[in-house]
Amino acid sequence: MSVERALGYPYDIPTQSYLLRNGTAHVWNENFPLSGRIPVLACGSNQSPTQLARKFPRGDVPVMAGWLDDYDSVYSAHFTTYGSIAATYHHAPGLRSRQMITWLDEDQLKTMHKTEALGVNYNFITFNDIVFTSDCTQKITQAHAYQSIRGLLKINNLPVGLQAIDCRNAPYLRLNQEALQNRIMTLFEYKGNLLNFIQQTIENKEERLYRTTRLVALSRP
């Protein structure tokens, strides 16, 4: 795994809905049948066709863009196996963020579960009574999501938003992956460079888990 992959998180996020077909993003098809598929919100890299193509190189995955009220994509207090600090949802009344829903069939959901470290970094939960307004004006009131077990990453007792995600009324920093990792290196008083820091996270499982523990502790009041 490469440092470039770690720093690229959450990768290319389209501004519109799309259909991932055999690993390639295509124009959204309004006539594509969603019946029988499971709506799963994507708060971070699962919005990206690059990331989804790694997980679903074959078949169709409809990805619906829209606005989600009262939620934002923020960083989770954990490091991934590929070196990134990943995302989770933060709930706060008055927020409005640009989000996407992946519509998965049963087999695709099983595949997605395997990639999300269920029970370790994430729980699979249901958001009820949400307000998700898709670009085609369809309103979704219930969807599933992967929510961090580790909790929100906080700096100065505030969440940190993903710079790649448009959010209205968020009263905290928005950083890209590189800026965040540099900030964490400073807080950890790490003396090496960013390349080495990320490479160690990727290659050394014990160090990765230790750093995750430090992120969790850092985020507590």
Predicted local confidence at residue 146, as pLDDT: 98
Residue type, 176: N
Q: With respect to residue 13, please indicate whether it lies within any of the assigned structural domains.
A: yes
Q: With respect to residue 39, please indicate whether it lies within any of the assigned structural domains.
A: yes
Predicted local confidence at residue 1, as pLDDT: 59
Q: What is the CATH number of the domain that holds 171?
A: 3.10.490.10
Q: With respect to residue 168, please indicate whether it lies within any of the assigned structural domains.
A: yes
Look up the pTM and report it: 0.94
Q: Do the strands 174-175 and 161-162 form a parallel or antiparallel pair, or are they unpaired?
A: parallel
How many CB atoms within 10 Å of residue 118? 14
Q: With respect to residue 199, please indicate whether it lies within any of the assigned structural domains.
A: yes
Each residue's pLDDT expressed in tens, for the chain with a length of 221 residues:
589 999 999 999 999 999 999 999 999 988 899 999 999 999 999 999 999 999 999 999 999 999 999 999 999 999 999 999 999 999 999 999 999 999 999 999 999 999 998 999 999 999 999 999 999 878 999 999 999 999 999 999 999 999 999 999 999 999 999 999 999 999 999 999 999 999 999 999 999 999 999 999 999 87
The answer to whether 85 and 76 are in contact (CB under 8 A) is yes
Q: With respect to residue 221, please indicate whether it lies within any of the assigned structural domains.
A: no
Q: With respect to residue 219, please indicate whether it lies within any of the assigned structural domains.
A: no
Task: Please count the structural domains in the chain.
Answer: 1
Q: With respect to residue 164, please indicate whether it lies within any of the assigned structural domains.
A: yes
Range of the domain at 107: 3-214
Burial of 43 (0-12, 13-18, 19+ CB in 10 A): buried
Q: With respect to residue 94, please indicate whether it lies within any of the assigned structural domains.
A: yes
